[in-house]
């Protein structure tokens, strides 16, 4: 009987020993795995690969969701990536900020249980991505506006409008941008720079339906069909008359240049097309006779 009890006790002792050893080995393995994950994640974060930094923790988290240290480490890395995105935003590094926000959003479903413990919400990331897009658009818009590429400036916001239909912040930025383009046209018209004013007014009138579809007819910003049409009429008249004045003075090249400016925003103007053809023909004859720099006393004929 004693031998039986002793044998049973020995078996229990051995079982407990191996169980304890197994627990210790398992705990040790988990510590090693956590250290390796932490190092890998930190390395990826330092190199700016935020997706890989989060992915390293995600893999360990899937295997050991109950491990508080794993959860804590994962949460801290998520917060670090968000902070990196915010820092990029504050410094104007919008590509870096977008990369950080996008990496977290792409991983969001995988750590949904951790999400309530974060200092931010999913909508904060989505709004951050949108604001980055708008900031990039505004930067590009200003570059094109400053370079006088108004048609290109007009299209800058088109992609973000498609991605965020109905978003008030996007609409506001779009309306503001179009208002600035119109201001360029208004200033040019006031200064009697009919070429620039006509170019801008023609562009806005051509795209007025698109603008109204996005912003609504009562959006403001001074964009109305009547006003733009009247501006074009004034520009057309100014360039037509200016060209005639130059033509009658015998300044054929100046007349042609003014009428070409008119055709840039009114290419179907048959009368001006004919005037340009007449002036070019006369200029060609003058150059052919070796008197290209002279004025033609007959310049007042044929272009009305």
User: CB-based burial of residue 254 (10 Å sphere; 0-12 exposed, 13-18 middle, 19+ buried)?
Assistant: middle
Angstrom distance (rounded) from CA 211 to CA 225: 11
Residues 17, 22: Cα–Cα separation, whole Å: 8
Question: In the numeric block, which tokens belong to residue 133?
Answer: 């897009």
Whether the Cβ atoms of residue 88 and residue 96 lie closer than 8 Å to each other = yes
d(Cα 19, Cα 25) in Å, to the nearest integer?
10
Provide the pLDDT confidence category of residue 291 given band limits of 50, 70 and 90: low
Q: What is the mean pLDDT of residues 235-262?
A: 96
* DSSP one-letter code for 296: P
Helix (H, G, I), strand (E, B) or coil at 210: helix
Write down the domain spans for the chain.
Answer: 1-120
For residue 112, which phi and psi values (nearest 5 degrees)? Answer: -55, -30
Cα 240–Cα 242–Cα 248 angle in degrees, nearest 5: 100
Q: Is the pLDDT of residue 22 over 90?
A: no
| Average pLDDT value for residue range 200-228 | 80
Q: What is the pLDDT of residue 112?
A: 92
On average, the pLDDT of the chain sits at: 87
pLDDT of residue 6: 61
Higher pLDDT, 24 or 176: 176
Percent of the chain exceeding pLDDT 90 equals 68
Q: CA-to-CA distance for 296 and 280, rounded, in angstroms?
A: 13
Q: Which helix (H) or strand (E) is 180 found in, with range?
A: helix 168-190
pLDDT tens-place string over residues 102-149: 999 999 999 999 999 999 999 999 999 999 999 999 999 999 999 999
Cα–Cα distance for residue pair 295/293, rounded to 1 Å: 7
Q: 211 by DSSP, 3-state: which?
A: helix
Residue with tokens 């210790």: 24
Q: Give the best-scoring range by mean pLDDT among 29-33, 61-65, 295-299.
A: 61-65
Q: What is the CA radius of gyration of the chain?
A: 36
Q: How confident is the model at residue 166 (pLDDT cuts 50, 70, 90)?
A: confident
Least confidently predicted of 69-78, 207-216, 252-261: 207-216
Retrieve residue 50's tokens: 């935020």
pLDDT value at 294 more than 50: no
Residue 213: is its pLDDT beyond 90?
Answer: no
As a whole number, mean pLDDT of residues 37-62 equals: 95
Rounded CA separation 213/136 (Å): 23
> Going by C-beta distance under 8 Å and a sequence separation of 6 or more, which residues neighbour residue 275?
243, 247, 255, 259, 303, 304
Q: Would you state the torsion angle of the CA atoms of residues 34, 36, 38, 43, taken in this order, to the nearest 10 degrees? A: -170
Position 73 pLDDT exceeds 80: yes
292 confidence band (pLDDT: 50, 70, 90): low
């Amino acid at each position: 009987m004693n031998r039986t009890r002793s044998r049973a006790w020995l078996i229990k002792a051995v079982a407990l020993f191996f169980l304890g050893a197994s627990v210790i080995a398992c705990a040790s393995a988990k510590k090693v795995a956590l250290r390796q994950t932490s190092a890998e994640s930190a390395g990826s974060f330092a190199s700016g690969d935020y997706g890989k930094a989060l992915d390293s923790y995600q893999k360990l988290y899937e295997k050991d969701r109950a491990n508080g240290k794993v959860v804590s480490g994962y949460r801290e890395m998520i917060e670090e990536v968000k902070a990196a995105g915010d820092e990029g935003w504050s410094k104007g590094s919008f590509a870096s900020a977008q990369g950080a926000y996008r990496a977290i959003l792409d991983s969001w479903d995988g750590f949904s249980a951790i999400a309530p413990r974060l200092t931010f919400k999913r909508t904060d990331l989505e709004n951050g991505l949108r604001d980055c897009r708008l900031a990039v658009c505004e930067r590009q818009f200003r570059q094109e506006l400053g370079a006088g590429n108004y048609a290109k400036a007009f299209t800058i916001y088109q992609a973000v409008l498609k991605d965020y239909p109905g978003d008030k912040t996007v609409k506001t930025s779009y309306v503001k941008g179009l208002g600035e383009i119109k201001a360029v046209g208004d200033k040019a018209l006031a200064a009697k720079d009919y070429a620039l004013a006509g170019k801008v007014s023609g562009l806005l009138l051509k795209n007025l339906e698109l603008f109204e579809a996005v912003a609504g007819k009562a959006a403001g910003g001074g964009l109305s069909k009547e006003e733009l049409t009247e501006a074009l009429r004034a520009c057309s008249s100014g360039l037509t008359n200016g060209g005639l004045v130059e033509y009658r003075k015998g300044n054929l090249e100046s007349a042609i240049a003014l009428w070409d400016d008119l055709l840039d925003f009114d290419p179907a103007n048959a009368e001006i097309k004919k005037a340009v053809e007449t002036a070019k023909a006369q200029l060609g004859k003058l150059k052919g006779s070796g008197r290209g720099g002279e004025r033609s006393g007959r310049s007042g004929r044929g272009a009305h």
